[in-house]
Amino acid sequence: MSNYELPDVYAGLGVRRVINASGKMTALGGSAVSEEVAFAIAAAARSHVSVEELATRAGAIIAGYAGAEAACLTSGAAAGIVQMTAACIAGVDQVKVERLPDVEGDRRHVLLQTGHAVSFGAPVTQMIRMGGGRPVTIGWANAVSKAQLEGSLDARTAAFLYVQSHHAVQEGMLPLATCMGICHSRDIPVLVDAAAEEEIGAYVAMGADLVAYSGGKAFGGPTSGFVVGKRELIRACRAQERGVARPMKVGKEQIVGLLTALAAHARRDHARELARNQQIVDYLIGSLSGLPDTTVAVAWDEAGRAIPRAVLTFRTAQPGAAATALLAHLRNGDPPIYLRGHAAGLGSVAIDPRPLDEADVPIVVERITAFFREGKVSV
Ligand SMILES: *Cc1c(COP(=O)(O)O)cnc(C)c1O
């Protein structure tokens, strides 16, 4: 590859290394990319290129991976939601594109199920508004009926957005296929936010019109993203690069890094990765069982992906307070350790094996054990 050694830039800045046992978190820098991806990014940064030509070629390559008609690059899945929305509202009309997020006329409603109106760090509904859409939530946070969706479709509807995510409510929502059947019978395009998913072709194969992914989550790429889908709508997504998508632009480094990561992803040995993750989880469960007033067990991903995690649950009088205290103890140590805290309020913390370096696993065990040894769990 190269004889050039990558410098330890974070240490040079006096910024601490973090042990990530949490997941592909934007706040922790998304993915730590492979050496191959890192060198590709460095190489891309070293020369000029027609970004237009590069983006067009990259779109064709990504469309090939997805089995889609077309694809385009975005700065992330959040930008993908903005661009998908804008594409459905302004199309390729340059006057409309330049006017966004202001819209003339009524056709700007973007429907989504109430249990999908989540924040991933910023609200999904705000991304819709940035693209000129007006978010319209249908049904209730725990229940949506077909009649509620059918009754919400009218001449003002520009698109329907489905959020495929562990952030979303998993029970009581209409499945994507049902939404697609209803919307397509009325010629309403169906958009999917599949930010953290890794099934690059799955939603297009089901018939979704546009699907947004993060490049920096499941695919192990740099901070980046892409949208796959129907040719005309992808053209309209790209038209937004001369409008609302300009402040979300993608550089040559991200494009090349993402393509390198996607090529590696296509070669990945999923069975081997799963076995590696299971081995780490088994080790964690073995090492952490027997801590006072807790249970530890494996839990599979709540959004249905093949990801095992070790979950430590407090059986104390105030389990939520104990779990929150453990998270803070780990985060405030050196190096800071981040566990998965979605269910901390209920007294559970999870350890995600995917972003963990094998060498860091015993450190995580020792620091959790120290929390108990030092009697921090008094709550
Ligand atoms: C992470 C995430 C996003 C944002 O993705 P970025 O690539 O960080 O812009 C959007 N939606 C969901 C459901 C997410 O999990």
The residue-averaged pLDDT of 164-184 equals 96
- Select from 226, 200, 199 the least CA-distant residue to 77: 226
> What is the full DSSP assignment across 215-229?
SSSTT--SS-EEEEE
Residue 4: what pLDDT? 67
> Does the C-beta of 78 come closer than 6 Å to ligand 1?
yes
Ligand 1 centroid–CA 376 distance in Å is 35
pLDDT > 90 fraction of the chain, expressed in percent and rounded: 89
* Each residue's pLDDT tens digit, 49-90: 999 999 999 999 999 999 999 999 999 999 999 999 999 999
Residue 8: what pLDDT? 87
Ligand 1 centroid–CA 124 distance in Å is 9
Q: What is the mean pLDDT of the chain?
A: 95
* Each residue's pLDDT tens digit, 194-239: 999 989 999 999 999 999 999 999 999 999 999 999 999 999 999 9
pTM metric for this prediction: 0.90
Q: At 26, is the pLDDT very low, low, confident or very high (cuts 50, 70, 90)?
A: confident
> Does the C-beta of 161 come closer than 6 Å to ligand 1?
no
Ligand 1 centroid–CA 26 distance in Å is 8
Give the number of the atom of ligand 1 that is nearest the alpha carbon of residue 196: 15
Residue 88: what pLDDT? 98
Please answer whether residues 224 and 255 qualify as being in contact, where contact means their C-beta atoms are separated by less than 8 angstroms.
yes
pLDDT at 301 over 60: yes
Q: At 6, is the pLDDT very low, low, confident or very high (cuts 50, 70, 90)?
A: confident
Residue 3: what pLDDT? 59
The residue-averaged pLDDT of 318-340 equals 96
CB-based burial of residue 367 (10 Å sphere; 0-12 exposed, 13-18 middle, 19+ buried)?
A: middle
β-strands 308-314, 109-113: how paired?
A: unpaired
